[in-house]
Homo-oligomer: A and B are copies of this chain.
Amino acid sequence: MASIIDGKKIAEDRILEIKSNIEKLKKDHNLIPGLAVVLVGDDPASRTYVNSKEKKCKEVGIYSEVHRLPESITELELLKIVEDLNNNEKIHGILVQLPLPKHINEDTINEHISYEKDVDGFHPVNIGNLQLKRPSFVPCTPKGIIELIKSTGTTIQGKNAVVVGRSNIVGLPTSMLLLNENATVTICHSKTQNLKDTILKADIIVSATGIAGLITGDMVKQDAVVIDAGIIRVGDTMVGDVLYDDVLQKAGFITPVPGGVGPMTIAMLMQNTYEAALKCV
């Protein structure tokens, strides 16, 4: 029976730590970290995410601005807003909530955010620097995943880690971080032919596919660390990629959904914004 990794509790502890660091930054350098969140349109899920980011900023002492923009905004107008935020000295981190409406190119927008304010870590320069093991903003979910793995006391070095899913937001950067921690990393995806055999070799499994219940108990090695980065709405509840009750019997450690990876993501966003401000000291 697996130990449950309490992401909510771990995130709360990190939030307290970040809050105290921010207080110190204010006291020592009279500097208040600032985060700008740009929300286009009124997708209900995006609105919820943005609200919780705003709330969390208040909690830790980050100045935040939310730019709520109509669905009809043009790419050029949005670029202008990003440009203004790039030049705004009160703002250390900029986050454009995805997805954007179809008439706006997400790549163009992400690339226009100054890579020094790119607290989401989606800019090509930050992605390149992460691979080069150079200082960079690390995407929030992957950064949180590594902290959750470490919270179990597991040594990552030399372990077989399997990442299922290769998105730019979760799968790929998580693979790079695990590699930087000296795991042997296998990246699986929709074209992988022998998913079960591959996952069965893993000491550490990170799943980030958005396919509910993809990872079942028979695919998991006894006592593996299982991190579930999936979050799928099924009726009124949220489930993950991992068939929880089933895998719980096999894994050594497991994250629940909700209450696992999710709370860490927002804590890491606060951490990245703090780090962005720290660079201005």
| Structural contact, B160 and A134, CB atoms closer than 8 A | no
Q: Which residue of B107, B134, B188, B193 contacts A132 across the interface (Cβ within 8 Å)?
A: B107
Nearest residue (CB) in B for A203 is B193
| Total chain A interface residues with beta-carbon distance under 8 A | 33
Closest Cβ neighbor of A107 among chain B residues = B134
Q: Per-residue 0/1 for A178-196: is the Cβ within 8 Å of any B Cβ (1 yes, 0 no)?
A: 0100111111110111100
CA distance A66 to B157 in the complex (A): 43
Residues of B within 8 A of A194 (CB): 160, 184
- Copies of this chain, count: 2
Query: Across the two chains, which residue of chain B brings its CB closest to A197?
Result: B201
What are 28 sample pairs from A and B whose C-beta atoms fall under 8 A apart? A107-B134, A124-B124, A124-B128, A124-B129, A124-B132, A126-B128, A127-B128, A127-B132, A128-B128, A128-B129, A131-B172, A132-B168, A158-B191, A158-B192, A159-B193, A160-B198, A166-B179, A175-B187, A179-B187, A179-B189, A182-B191, A183-B191, A184-B186, A184-B191, A184-B192, A184-B194, A186-B186, A186-B187
A contacts, CB < 8 Å to B: 107, 123-129, 131-132, 134, 157-160, 166, 168, 172, 175, 179, 182-189, 191-194, 198
